[in-house]
Amino acid sequence: MHKVTSSNQVAIVTGASRGIGAAIAQRLARDGFHVVVNYAGKAEEAAAVVRTIEATGRKAVAVQADVADADAVKRLFDSAVQAFGRIDVLVNNAGIMPSTLPMLADTDDATFDRLFAVNVKGTFNTLREAAGRLEQGGRIVNFSSSLVGTALPGYAVYAATKSAVETLTNIMAKELRGRNITVNAVAPGPTATALFLDGKTPELIERLSKANPMERLGTPDDIANAVSFLAGQDGAWVNGQTLRANGGMV
């Protein structure tokens, strides 16, 4: 188990009701953080994550907020301060990917707008709040995708949102000069969650799981381990970077 960081440090994890975010929330709690478990709509799943954290002796609260909504994000940060008095870590994990992935030429406006609203504006909204409200020595971990590197047909708009997140990461790291706050991104490869599995045939899942030399899908815990490193003491000298966690696929 990881060394406990501090007994009063607080992490907000967006999209923590399931998938990678739930694993991150649970891992950061094991690392010693109190955790704000953000979710969009699945209140029962978020409550279950809170219960697993409380069972380990850390504190957690579930807070509903659509990250695409700037006012809701303000309320999310207010709730964190109200519950725990401070914010040390922000993990911008919330993200969406459509289960059908047409070529760019066949992508409709609504799909483009919603992808950018959640993945880019959502990350912007939380970064803007965090800039004024994170403690000295804090940590921000954003979420990109290894698709920025693999550039597979069908993923143009989704991958473009993640390229934007990588750029926000680089520049935000520099803009926080003097605060001792690091800003990095994690870029998973195919990881066994609803976001990846939904809408794919078993054959396609099998093929994509063999795209890396480890010949398996990533697990939410694989990704949570990388986030834990960047959010903890050992990651202090890594700043403004995107860490691809994909078993060596790209």
- Single residue of 41, 132, 178, 202 touching ligand NDP by CB under 6 A: 41
158 catalytic per annotation: yes
Q: Show contacts of 230-237: CB within 8 Å, 24+ apart.
A: 230/139, 230/141, 230/182, 230/184, 230/186, 231/11, 231/28, 231/31, 231/33, 231/89, 231/91, 231/139, 231/141, 232/2, 232/3, 232/5, 232/31, 232/139, 233/3, 233/5, 235/139, 235/182, 235/184, 236/182
H or E stretch at 188: strand 182-188
- Single residue of 196, 226, 239, 249 touching ligand NDP by CB under 6 A: 196
- Single residue of 39, 77, 84, 124 touching ligand NDP by CB under 6 A: 39
Q: Is 239 an interacting residue with respect to ligand NDP (CB under 6 A)?
A: no
Our CA dihedral for 132, 228, 177, 166, rounded to 10 degrees, sits at -90
Q: Is 20 an interacting residue with respect to ligand NDP (CB under 6 A)?
A: yes
Query: Per CB under 6 A, which of residues 58..77 are in contact with ligand NDP?
Result: 66-68
In the complex, minimum distance from the CB of residue 61 to ligand NDP, in angstroms, rounded to a whole number: 15
Q: Is 235 an interacting residue with respect to ligand NDP (CB under 6 A)?
A: no
In the complex, minimum distance from the CB of residue 131 to ligand NDP, in angstroms, rounded to a whole number: 19
Query: Which residues have a catalytic role annotated?
Result: 158
Chain contacts with ligand NDP (rule: CB under 6 A): 14-21, 38-42, 45, 66-68, 93-97, 118, 122, 143, 145, 188, 190-191, 193-196
